[in-house]
Amino acid sequence: MERLALLNERTPTAGTVPAFKVAGVPVRLHFTFVLLLAFLVVTDLGHESSGTFALYLAGLFASVLLHELAHAGAAAHLRVRTLEIVMFPIGGLSRMERRLRPAEELWVTLAGPAANLAIAGVIFGYMALTKQAVTIGMAELLQPSDGNVTQRVAFANLLLAALNFMPAFPMDGGRVLRALLSMVRPAEEATRVAAWMGRMLAISMGLYGLVFSELLVVFFAFFVWLGATQETAASLGRTLTIGIPVRAAMITEFHKLGHGDTVREAANLLLSTSQQDFPIMHGDQVIGVLDRNGMLRALAQEGPEAYVAAMERDFIALEPDADLAEMLPLLARAGRCALVMDGARMVGMLTSENLSEFLLLRRFGMEPAV
């Protein structure tokens, strides 16, 4: 378990960039979040309300971050560490060091929307104490001004809480639904139900956005669909791999590179085989992995006669008897390939392609050879 926690900590979510840390928890921005932020900034350039809009965006970002920190705080209370917080266009995601049990997931999940309700309550309380008028008309709320930024942030928090209480993945309500169903039904069945509701929600949002020309709603519907689909795939993967060791799905016949081999020799192997990730060996010791992208980068920057030893990178090492279901999220974040190590000896490779083939065969009832 300690080794798994260390591997998880070393492997951040793919497609993200580090931003900062809060209370020791790394906060990372998904590239789609950066693109959305750039889009919002560009579309607002030249407007008289640019400063007000930027202030509102900052308040919204802080609200989503506090939502995720509430998840992390509740998990810490249950002695579960949060490895990272990833900011997506439709919200954030707190990644825990292990999968939560149903009762844990219930309380950790509820902490997020509760934080948004608390933020809204504090803002409205402040407005009441300072005798500021609260406008409930949508026309006023949708029209930004210097005088209603605070109120708009408060209503945005109410909206965030309401959206997250919807019982569908990837909303918090979907996780609450899964936690409650998991208390009486198998966890994977509970996940499939919540993910199905998430897809139905995405279809409804997408149709609404298309009919009424609300492109932003279509944009959010796409990410809701994507999140629900990923949960379904992850659920199916866990069902097909739980209790099965890594050795059952690993590749045992593969090509290696010596530390003195050149990029030209690696490229020839890439062309003559279907393999795209090559362990770099120094005797019997693995010193790195050269993947296809690294090879192409080396050809462009260093030339074909460069030694592959200079192109080595960190690699993920899995134990052959580790539970394959526990390794699936790790492999998804690590990329295409992980090495299977029995102590210091390499015994196999686990690639995304071979894992997909293994899961496909398992779906048709083939029992793994362990």
In which domain, by residue range, is 100 found? Answer: 2-165
Beta pairing, strands 257-258 & 91-96: unpaired
Q: 271 with 347, same domain?
A: yes
Residues of the chain with pLDDT under 70: 1-11, 41, 43-51, 135-147, 310-313, 332-336, 369-370
> Residues 313, 277: contact at Cβ < 8 Å?
no
Domain boundary among 165, 185, 204: 165
Q: 223 with 281, same domain?
A: no
Q: 155 with 290, same domain?
A: no
Q: 142 with 214, same domain?
A: no
Domain assignment present for 370:
no
Domain assignment present for 154:
yes
Q: 29 with 153, same domain?
A: yes
361, two tokens: 């065969």
Domain assignment present for 128:
yes
Asked whether the whole model's pTM tops 0.85, one would answer no
Domain assignment present for 357:
yes
Q: 17 with 131, same domain?
A: yes
Q: 148 with 120, same domain?
A: yes
Q: 15 with 159, same domain?
A: yes
Q: 254 with 233, same domain?
A: no
DSSP 46-86: T-TTHHHHHHHHHHHHHHHHHHHHHHHHHHHHTT--EEEEE
Domain boundary among 117, 132, 165: 165
> Residues 151, 135: contact at Cβ < 8 Å?
yes
Q: How many residues does the chain have?
A: 370
Residue 37: exposure state from Cβ atoms within 10 A (0-12, 13-18, ≥19): middle
Domain boundary among 193, 208, 241: 241
Domain assignment present for 140:
yes
Q: 183 with 74, same domain?
A: no
Helices (H), 172-214: 172-182, 187-211
279: CB partners within 8 A, 6+ apart? 254, 256, 257, 286, 288, 289, 315, 339, 346, 349
Name the maximum alpha-carbon separation found in the chain: 76
Domain assignment present for 294:
yes
Q: Which residue has the tokens 């995304």?
A: 352
Q: 228 with 256, same domain?
A: no
Q: 253 with 235, same domain?
A: no
Q: How many domains does the chain have?
A: 3
Q: What angle do CA 312, 84, 27 make, to 5 degrees?
A: 95
